[in-house]
Structure 1
């Protein structure tokens, strides 16, 4: 006897979603302190009635809490939350009923922290996707500060990188950050704008003058020492850059620009930078060095264009069971991604290493004999520091492609 199966899961999901707030057998209590201007903080208590099977199905933490005799929450049929806002808890609970998370990106940082604490992995995954899609110059600073508060290192890093890359817009106004967090933004010299433009941004945050006796210190006042220190640092950097490059560039009527730059293909970007210099320094030797592996005696037989065409990703190159190493003589890279310029066959297996000194190597990515579409980010193991060296090692198959290094490039004199 044949079975007939028809269904409408979307309709069922909509019904379940509408059940939120319609009762339950378990109470989630949120106790939070609400600051009142001119008076002491007031306690606010919010209660949500929910069904315990939903909590236990989504969360291993709630499952243990509700189904273990040793937990007070099981016997009282309630949990008290004191470290998150009622708004974020409501968003969190609505997700358990609907599978949908929605809200301003800045608010989702706290929701993501809730998902992390209560081990709701799907919600963490969706929040992360929202950050990857929605981070921009307008919200990056607030997301960065919130992620630091809720100890979400991956979200914090994504927001910080957005600030660095979109600095002119992200730093148009002063971030509501602690001195320590502002140091983190300014310290590495990875902000992708010139020192002259950054100086204008910092000076545009408001008047910086000493407080009179009895005046309350403002947020900007607490950041004053950090701002002044980095204004001085930028002047010193500009002096070093002028001393190193100024004389040779002055003959062509240009001045050295003290700035970091973001690119999705740093080798190609270095070639473009070389072409833009009026003095036309050599690409190989000044902007980039290349070392071919020991089995490369026949490299020129299969790749008959000038080497710099392959080193700068202007042409794909053939390589089998060998390696190629790129080294930046005067720059370092904050690595954010790796990809291949062309589709990669599953017949090819290669690995990518990076290094800050050419001696100690970090495995950054492994293609693992998988089919990889062009420009698809490889799973990245990030180095703990800036790097100057990149090595592509072909283990199996005939490599005919280019390695694309994505990141922020900064002059070593900075």
Structure 2
């Protein structure tokens, strides 16, 4: 957003964390307004995206289940094949998974895998930063670049002094360069506090040396 905002002039475009322009106008316009007409009539019509969102994890219509941490997630095989190259390959006839009604998942946690499957139905992600690290790992493994970017946004919004070094470690591990640079700058800008956290002292020696060397080149140590 940019322009007149609550009595202040924003001359350069500013990134917000809203997901719809309706929320932006309602929260920041003066006075609060809607930018389009709102119909109050009852309408039974449902868009494709709304229908998919509604049918996620619905036992009545699904034809496949994922079992994660002893819990089941109900999905539609056709939706997964349409939305994800990983599943398109998995459900080819020569793969054993194509004949199964229940697929066991052990490498990811239930909140992470459910959020991934829900993303395929909704194009959105709702996870705390700590779980978003696991989802970032999944997105990297499955080559889901858009999901990878969403995870990075969640992590950026949720970074704190306590988790900054953990998030930096994750960004390096999953080759998320933009997120790595963001977390690194945060750590340098809050260096004294970050170095007092448990996460900082739990990191392995090679990475710690690389961080100190990189921070020194960035002017973190004046003398």
TM-score interval, normalised by the smaller of the two chains: 0.5 to 0.7
SS for the counterpart of 1:47 is strand
Contact 1:110–1:146 under 8 Å retained in 2:
no
Structure 1 segments unaligned to the other structure (5+ residues): 1-7, 31-43, 191-259, 261-332, 334-407
In structure 1, how many angstroms separate the alpha carbons of the residues matched to 2:210 and 2:45?
46
**1:19 match:** 55
Answer yes or no: is 1:65 the counterpart of 2:90.
Answer: yes
Answer yes or no: is 1:166 the counterpart of 2:190.
Answer: yes
The structure-2 alpha-carbon separation of the partners of 1:175 and 1:54, relative to structure 1 and needing over 3 Å to count, comes to same
**1:128 match:** 152
TM-score, structure 2 length as denominator? 0.65
In structure 2, how many angstroms separate the alpha carbons of the residues matched to 1:93 and 1:153?
23
Counterparts of 1:87-166 in structure 2, within 5 Å, are 87-147=111-171, 151-154=173-176, 155-156=179-180, 158-166=182-190
The structure-2 alpha-carbon separation of the partners of 1:184 and 1:56, relative to structure 1 and needing over 3 Å to count, comes to farther
The structure-2 alpha-carbon separation of the partners of 1:185 and 1:172, relative to structure 1 and needing over 3 Å to count, comes to farther
Structure 2 segments unaligned to the other structure (5+ residues): 1-43
In structure 1, how many angstroms separate the alpha carbons of the residues matched to 2:206 and 2:49?
42
Counterparts of 1:170-319 in structure 2, within 5 Å, are 170-175=194-199, 177-180=202-205, 183-184=208-209, 187-188=212-213, 190=215
The structure-2 alpha-carbon separation of the partners of 1:144 and 1:91, relative to structure 1 and needing over 3 Å to count, comes to same
Aligned residue pairs, count: 176
Please report how far the alpha carbon of residue 170 of structure 1 lies from its aligned counterpart in structure 2 after TM superposition: 2.8
Contact 1:16–1:97 under 8 Å retained in 2:
yes
Contact 2:128–2:158 under 8 Å retained in 1:
no
Say which structure is richer in helix. 2
In structure 1, how many angstroms separate the alpha carbons of the residues matched to 2:122 and 2:188?
36
SS for the counterpart of 1:113 is helix
Please report how far the alpha carbon of residue 131 of structure 1 lies from its aligned counterpart in structure 2 after TM superposition: 3.4
**1:338 match:** none
Match of 1:409 among 196, 212, 219: 219
Contact 1:145–1:181 under 8 Å retained in 2:
no
Contact 1:28–1:79 under 8 Å retained in 2:
yes
TM-score, structure 1 length as denominator? 0.37
SS for the counterpart of 1:79 is strand
Answer yes or no: is 1:29 the counterpart of 2:67.
Answer: yes
Contact 2:163–2:199 under 8 Å retained in 1:
no
Pairwise CA RMSD: 3.2
Q: Deviations over 1:161-207 (max 9, x none)?
A: 421232233334221623336624753161xxxxxxxxxxxxxxxxx
Match of 1:80 among 74, 97, 104: 104
**2:79 match:** 54
SS for the counterpart of 2:74 is strand
The structure-2 alpha-carbon separation of the partners of 1:78 and 1:64, relative to structure 1 and needing over 3 Å to count, comes to farther
